[in-house]
Structure 1
Amino acid sequence: MDLFIKLSQFLLSLSLLIILHELGHFIPAKLFKTRVEKFYLFFDVKYSLIKKKIGETEYGIGWLPLGGYVKISGMIDESMDKEQMALPPQTWEFRSKPAYQRLIIMLGGVTVNFILAFIIYIGMAFAYGDTYVANTDFKDGMLIDNPVMLKAGFKTGDKILAADGVAIAKFDNEINMKLIMAKKILIERNGKEQEISIPVDLVDQLSKYEKGSLIAIRMPFVIGAVDDESPNTNLKPKDLITSLNGQSTRYFDQAQIIIKNNKGKTIPATILRDQKEQNITLKISKEGTIGVQSGGLSIESLEKLGYYKISKKEYSFMEAIPFGLIKGKDQLIGYGKQLKMIFNPETKAYKQVGGFKAIFDIFPSTWSWEVFWRITALLSIMLGVMNLLPIPALDGGHVMFLLYEIISGKKPSDKFLENAQMVGFVLLITLLLFANGNDIYKSIVGR
């Protein structure tokens, strides 16, 4: 069932993005009276799952879910229809239209991708508001147990103040990405500020450990389950350990240190059970364990216990517009930085480039419209940026040649465009094989 939910979200998001992207080409093409021969979701290599011709356009669904396309008459594209291009140009063909009209048609897909992302962020702000924990509420700093971060010089209890000079105002699901993209992090430790450099190959280093999160919220020590052979039968699930051996253990990491320092001993402890404190004793094994599985608490429960305060801002529709636009702009800039990082050999981030499995894995196994739309908006930005790359066979490649034509007044020959299209197609296949090969490799080695 979990697999079905993940697959459903993946296919729905992918289909939505492909259809809207291709509509971005289709609509201006029709407005400029350019014939569109095919409009397909997925590729129809050899045969189609569904197809129906309406007017001059065949609409269908292919069997190969690697994208989609519109086939525009008189255009050198992935179809490589040389026979049509050898005939005299017709008024309804792409090649017969003014350069500015062809440019608008080619930019239509990525334009729709970016507009869609901004609309989703506006809609999410209006529907869900903005929920977060203000960074100033982390009085005792963050939990940092990632070996890469520890090696870089971070410690649990550090307060994260800024990334590359930009203040971190709130803790949300994007904070780890902000830190990954940064070069310098300003922290506060023991009341003093200091700056820590982020390793240039941080992404590659993180990939070598199961714990990919850079920082996390410090949690209390809550008993999730008591082992059958545990010597501490006086503990029960949902108990919260507040002190050990006379020392306060507000957080789990503090309790871990005390337990490891008292291996093989019996120590006094204080627990919170049913909102009442109780004093007990705990036996610690020679290995430094107490025979329990730790549990977790929701952020709402943490708020009730006085750990953190949840901040939630509601937006009217008009207020949601600027918030969504800023959110979209930040995501667009952020993805641009990620792409720059991937193309920088020093970062070794190219090793983490993923294909369809990597995209599939980011969807949760439980259905959440909020998460679905957040992922879809990000994928829309990714699709738009990737399609703008100046690679022949991508929209960006066509745009590059059209801009050359507009600036120079000279149109590249059909032969040149055919050869460029073939080179671009080979390059795209290579990138596709590399990305999905990375997925396969990581599945085999487990990283």
Structure 2
Amino acid sequence: MIDIKLLEKKAENGTSYFDEYKQGLINRGASTDVLEQIMELNKKRKELITQAETAKANQNKLSGEIGKLKREGKDASAILAEVDTLKTQVKELEAKAAEADQQVYNLALIIPNKPNASVPVGSSEKENKVLKTWGEPTKFSFKPKEHWELGESLNIIDFERAGKTTGTRFAFLKGAAAQMERALIQFMMDMHSTRHGYTEMIPPFMVNSNSLLGTGNFPKFKEDVFHLEGSDLYLIPTAEVPVTNYFNNEILDEKDLPASFCAYSPCFRSEAGSAGRDTKGLIRQHQFDKVELMTFCHPDKSYEVHEALTSHAEQVLMDLELPFRRMLLCTGDMGFGSAKTHDLEVWLPGQNTYREISSCSNFEDFQARRANIRFRSAGGKPQFVHTLNGSALAVGRTLVAILENNQREDGSVAIPKALQPYMGGRQEIR
């Protein structure tokens, strides 16, 4: 959420923060109309407050005169009537100011975050920048199969029966695929907790609307989540939602920062805007497993943390020997709440392209303002923390990458060495 007070100030170089935010929205390809409305409404709100305070001061002054007149035995009825009129005016003005304040808040909820100055300006994924690559794209002497072909031929993924029992964009994992899914979750959680120092967490898989508001999913992306009818509960689209709100409306001690968690959860998404995209396979499912990294940190440290968090997600891919590249998303391709995002894209030889497997974002104080998550230094005033999160990794897509990169001409699949201890020493699927 934007800082309304900051928008009214000027930076040290004399530029207006409002103009900076407006340019940030333009760079995103977003409308600036709502920002203009907010400034107008906030101006109106301040004027109403001033009018209410003036009326209240007059009311108090006249109330003092009433006492004096009564002590002198004089008629105070005219002033009493005037005081009553002022009381009514104060109530009306305060109500209008409160209404304007609520309108400002509601509009502020639908404005995206301002991109960090280091983010390249662009309108689509075509203008994202490759920051690094690791490993060479896997090549074969035979035509590689796509993961759904491998899954069906090895009898470890069943889309047809999932369609019968549930519907499209679901799958049964069985045998070695089910074992690998479970092994990958354990492998990722072990790595992040023991090697990278994150605290393990398994969050609730349902949250209330206030939590979705805090992360920025609501109100703008309400159609993307599954709602439990007759309740204020929603299936989580990512562990980011419950874990971010773990500290909702709390003030942390500065010495407890950074606070970092790795969380496993299934994720549920309606994929409302994805009709016709990735209709085959495991890439875009309504239900999928993910391990999420989440850090709450001091504002001065957030870009240092962003680099570290991204490298922790990369380490999973390196240990599994999966070729990947790191992308810096341009302004037009970033998520609603992000100030800066690194995407990790893994090579899929069956599709002959790189596909996103992780998104690591710094939200700066955007989510912290919405969820009211602050910290206090010794003797200092509360400040908003910065929040960061990243997939490390999307488990189903990792399984996809292993199947496609480790396939053999005879249709079998080699299991990465790092994963073998988690699969009872198993070395291949055939």
TM-score range, shorter chain: under 0.3
TM-score (norm 2): 0.22
Normalising by the residue count of structure 1, what TM-score does the alignment of the two structures yield? 0.21
